């Protein structure tokens, strides 16, 4: 039985360069974290933790926390981890603390009670940032996570009661807030205005409820430019953020995920079936079902067809410089390098590839340490390693 070819290829040097480019425009008060849930592939994490890259990682599982801490130690960097995500039970919270998580973003009153019990048992004060679901945020993107019922965060109207509870519970040190209101925004001025709003809200709320504000996580939300879209203007973002007045002792964390990782990844798969759907021919490829949701949202570039691609061909023009060190079994061709040779329709045995898949790869969306794979994956760093 022949197994259809499919897999991921990551040019991790691209991820490292993205991290340096963003870190380079951020003010001194900013902390750049990478949301590991986007892609936890080890070489990608290592590239992001390069000199001048991310300051740390935002994690949502114990496995992510352990892997991220190891990468930072290997790079000789301080272990800076923040943890978020709903439905964190006592076991997971304990594992996150064991892994060295610095700030836990609490999503509910019950989670505050669990963290309090753990803090008392360990004889420590757990640093907590309250995750907030704002009533309204003007920022828009491909996905809104604020202003409506959601598993994420405490509704803004309930924040005073949550803070009162946190102040009563022993073993907690409330250091600030976490707001992640939108995904996929490519308007730099609007994003800077959103961060300014988060800061104003946090400073005001902290003053009203006796919080010694030292930490504000404004989430990710930076949009990737797919299919010729206008990219986020980093220079404008940096200029706008530099004009903000941030009180001393407050760190503001930005935690993009897909924006940092998307461009470093390609997914390729052998076509296994072709059929007619109305007036359009459609094809299905090995291991690609999980990518359809992302494609429907416009989060990855459309697949490009490669009729008659030799299955022994491992890597085409755009990745030629990384060819050394790639073993057999991976078929990759980037969208810009494709040519439709003698026929225009795909057939079983052909290959198709998609770029911009570094944030939806084999390691993406693993929950609580589970790693879900569709095909294999291979990392390269521009040096053939």
Each residue of 255-306: pLDDT tens digit? 999 999 999 888 777 777 766 665 544 444 545 544 444 444 444 443 334 3
CA pair distance 356, 227, nearest whole angstrom: 10
pLDDT value of position 276: 62
The structure tokens listed for 219 are 């989430």
* Closest among 375, 161, 370 to 268, alpha carbons compared: 375
> Which residue segments constitute the domains of the chain, with CATH numbers given?
13-259 (3.20.20.10), 262-380 (2.40.37)
Per residue in 240-260, pLDDT tens?
A: 999 999 999 999 999 999 999
341-376 pLDDT tens trace: 333 456 677 766 677 778 865 554 443 333 333 334
Contact (CB, 8 A) for 356 and 300: yes
pTM of the model: 0.80
Q: How far apart are CA 218 and CA 215, in angstroms?
A: 10
Least Cα distance to 385 among 13, 8, 119 occurs for 13
Find how far residue 336's CA is from the centre of its chain.
Answer: 25
pLDDT at 226: 81
Residues sharing a CB contact under 8 Å with residue 278, sequence separation 6 or more, in sequence order: none
Residue-wise pLDDT tens digits, 185-239: 899 999 999 999 999 999 999 999 999 999 999 998 899 988 788 999 999 999 9
- Kindly report the number of other CB atoms within 10 A of residue 159's CB atom: 21
């Amino acid at each position: 039985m022949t197994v259809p070819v499919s897999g991921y290829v990551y040019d991790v040097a691209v991820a490292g360069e993205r991290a340096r480019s963003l870190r380079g425009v951020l003010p001194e008060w900013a902390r750049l974290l990478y949301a590991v849930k986007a892609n936890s592939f080890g070489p990608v994490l290592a590239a992001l933790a390069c000199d001048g890259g991310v300051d740390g990682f935002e994690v949502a599982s114990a496995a992510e926390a352990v892997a991220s801490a190891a990468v930072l130690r290997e790079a000789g960097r301080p272990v800076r981890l923040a943890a978020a995500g709903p439905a964190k039970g006592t076991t997971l919270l304990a594992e996150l603390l064991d892994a060295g998580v610095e700030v836990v973003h609490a999503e509910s009153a019950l989670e505050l009670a669990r963290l309090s019990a753990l803090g008392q048992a360990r004889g420590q004060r757990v640093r907590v940032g309250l995750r907030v679901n704002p009533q309204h945020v003007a920022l828009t993107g491909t996905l809104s996570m604020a202003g409506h019922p959601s598993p994420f965060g405490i509704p803004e109207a309930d924040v005073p009661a949550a803070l009162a509870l946190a102040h009563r519970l022993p073993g907690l040190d409330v250091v600030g807030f976490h707001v992640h209101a939108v995904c996929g925004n490519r308007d730099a001025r609007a994003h800077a205005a959103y961060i300014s709003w988060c800061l104003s809200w946090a400073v005001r709320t902290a003053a009203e409820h006796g919080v010694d504000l030292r930490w504000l996580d404004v989430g990710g939300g930076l949009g990737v430019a797919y299919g010729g879209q206008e990219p986020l203007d980093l220079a404008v973002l940096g200029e706008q953020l530099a004009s903000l007045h941030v009180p001393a002792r407050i760190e503001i964390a930005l935690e993009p995920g897909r924006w940092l990782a998307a461009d470093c990844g390609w997914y390729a798969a052998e076509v296994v079936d072709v059929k007619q759907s109305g007036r359009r021919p459609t094809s299905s490829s090995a291991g690609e079902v999980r990518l359809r949701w992302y494609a429907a949202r416009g989060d990855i570039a459309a697949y490009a067809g490669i009729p008659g691609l030799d299955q022994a061909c491992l890597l085409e023009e755009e990745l030629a410089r990384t060819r050394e060190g790639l073993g057999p079994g991976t078929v990759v061709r980037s969208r810009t390098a494709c040519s439709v040779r003698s026929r225009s329709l795909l057939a079983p045995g052909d290959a198709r590839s998609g770029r911009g898949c570094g944030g939806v790869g084999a390691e993406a969306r693993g929950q609580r340490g589970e790693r879900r794979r569709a095909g294999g994956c291979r990392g390269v760093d521009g040096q053939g390693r």
